[in-house]
Amino acid sequence: MNSPLRYRRIVLKLSGEVLAGERGFGINPPVIEALSDEILAISDTGVELGLVVGGGNILRGATASEGGIDRVAADYMGMLSTVINAMALQDQLERKGLETRLLTAIRMDQVAEPYIRRRAVRHLERGRVILLAGGTGNPYFSTDTTAVLRAIEIGAEAILKATKVDGIYTADPREDPDAEFIERISYREVLERDLRVMDGTAITMGKENNLPIVVFNIHQAGAVRRILSGESVGSIVEG
pLDDT digits (tens, 9 = 90+) for 178-197: 999 999 999 999 999 999 89
Instruction: Confirm whether 189 is domain-assigned.
Output: yes
- CATH number of the domain bearing residue 22: 3.40.1160.10
> How far is Cα 125 from Cα 157, in angstroms, rounded to an integer?
14
Examine residue 143 and state whether it is found in any structural domain, yes or no.
yes
For a pLDDT cut of 90, what percent of the chain falls above it?
83
User: Does residue 1 lie within any of the structural domains?
Assistant: no
pLDDT digit string (tens) for 63-120?
A: 787 888 999 999 999 999 999 999 999 999 999 999 999 999 999 999 999 999 999 9
Integer Cα distance of 83 and 117 in angstroms:
18
25 located within any domain: yes
Count of other CB atoms within 10 angstroms of residue 52: 27
Residue 18 lies in a domain: yes
Residue 61 confidence class, pLDDT cut points 50, 70, 90: confident
pTM beyond 0.95: the answer is no
Is 96 within the bounds of a domain?
yes
State the Cα–Cα distance between residues 109 and 106, nearest whole angstrom.
Answer: 9
Q: What is the pLDDT of residues 122-169, one digit of tens each?
A: 999 999 999 999 999 999 999 999 999 999 999 999 999 999 889 999
How many domains, in total, are found in the chain?
1
The overall average pLDDT reported for the chain is 93
| Inter-residue contact 151 to 213 (CB < 8 Å) | no
Residue 3 forms part of a structural domain: no
1, pLDDT greater than 50: no
Q: What domain range includes position 29?
A: 9-238
The arithmetic mean of pLDDT across residues 209-236, rounded, is 94
Give the pLDDT of residue 239: 84
Please indicate, yes or no, if residue 176 is contained in any of the structural domains: yes
